[in-house]
Amino acid sequence: MANFTLDDVRQRTYKARDAWWTVLLVDPLAARLVKFTANRTRVTPNQLTVGALVLGLAAGACFAVASWPWLLAGALLYHLSFTLDCMDGKIARLKGTGSVFGAWLDYIFDRVRVLACAIALMAGQYAATGNVAYVWTALAVVFLDMLRYMDALEIYKVRSQMRTTLNAAREEARALELAARRANGDLADADEDLRSAEALTEDPEADAENRVVGDDPNAAALQAGFNQRFPWYARIRNVLMAGRIRPHLISGIEFQMGVFIVAPIAAAIVPGAIIPVVVLSGIGLLAFELIIIYKFWLSSRDYSRSLAKLNAKIETHRAELPAEPAQAGAVVGSSG
């Protein structure tokens, strides 16, 4: 059997920055369960993913009953389901057993859980009250969840493409400059000249969630334009980062918890509280999504400027290179 310590779990599985709900309300329990599971059992990440779905569907069944004891039970089961969902990734990172199929399974089962619980929660309330607003609320929950994760995946993909393009241009510019300086007898290092054009390398805002605490990111800031407009943001970000909390305070995770934990608990105390809580959660999600889109727009402008600088350097260094022998020979041959 393995002998992982709690510190091993924290250093190798905690994300460098995560949702505040996860950091404060899930990780303290999940880390201890991961330590026990990794050391004492042969449970796999995919088995935990399936277990999370089963608990999520059980939460949905409780929501469908609609009475206050079952709403409380459903909220508890949903929280436990999310805890298992966090554990599968931690086990995979700790043991190095992650897989492409496991990541796909986790994503699909997350969406199935949200869909099932949204339908069950709102259908139970509709059956109990006859208020058609619950039907529209269910549709809104599913739509917002889909919007959030589609937007996140697309932005992540585009950012990766932007970094790949800039890295390739940077390397080409460096190689051409060194070649030109060698040809002219000047071997001075060109790195300092090129660094000024590298405004877009890694994005701490997007990538910290894919790093773990034990990693040394050494990442350059991507959000130059955003930070210039909002200098106070860096101070808030640094305070939150000290506790591993991302500035995106209402993400898909907090939205789900608002809908499937806070709202049922509130409705168990105050009948009819589900829709107001869901509306507030949705407004918060949309507000932070707009901020992310705005930051992404500014990043795209930084990217365009950086790429233009690098392309200008590439053309300049190409012009500094002497004519290739093959081309020179072709000219001489034609004139003879």
194: left (phi over 0), alpha (psi -120 to 50) or beta: alpha
Please compute, for residue 50, the number of CA atoms within 13 A of its CA located in the half-sphere on the CB side: 6
> How far is the C-alpha of 214 from the C-alpha of 246, rounded, in Å?
17
> How far is the C-alpha of 148 from the C-alpha of 253, rounded, in Å?
10
pLDDT of residue 216: 41
pLDDT of residue 207: 45
> How far is the C-alpha of 120 from the C-alpha of 63, rounded, in Å?
6
- 8 Å CB contact between 48 and 6: no
**Which pairs with CB-CB distance under 8 Å and at least 24 residues apart come from 312-319?**
313/173, 313/176, 313/177, 313/193, 313/194, 313/197, 314/169, 314/172, 314/173, 314/176, 317/173, 317/176, 317/177, 317/179, 317/180, 318/176
- 8 Å CB contact between 44 and 103: no
- 8 Å CB contact between 34 and 91: yes
What's the distance, CA 237 to chain centroid?
16
Print pLDDT tens along the chain (336 aa).
678 999 999 999 999 899 999 999 999 999 999 999 999 999 999 999 999 999 999 999 999 999 999 999 999 999 999 999 999 999 999 998 889 999 999 999 999 999 999 999 999 999 999 999 999 999 999 999 999 988 888 998 998 899 899 899 999 888 888 888 887 776 554 444 444 444 444 444 444 445 555 544 434 445 666 667 777 777 888 889 889 999 889 999 999 999 999 999 999 999 999 999 999 999 999 999 999 999 899 888 888 988 998 899 888 888 878 776 654 444 444 444
Sign of the CA dihedral running 248, 250, 251, 254? positive
pLDDT of residue 120: 98
Choose among 204, 202, 240, 245: nearest CA to 17: 245
251: left (phi over 0), alpha (psi -120 to 50) or beta: beta
Structure tokens at 77: 């089961």
Q: What proportions of the chain, in percent to the nearest 5, are helix, strand and coil?
A: 80, 0, 20
Phi, psi (degrees; rounded to nearest 5) at 212: -110, 165
> How far is the C-alpha of 50 from the C-alpha of 167, rounded, in Å?
39
> CA angle 230-232-236, nearest 5°?
120
Q: Can you tell me which residue has the tokens 């206050």?
A: 68
pLDDT of residue 53: 97
- 8 Å CB contact between 48 and 57: no
Taking residue 135's Cβ as centre, other Cβ atoms within 10 Å add up to 14
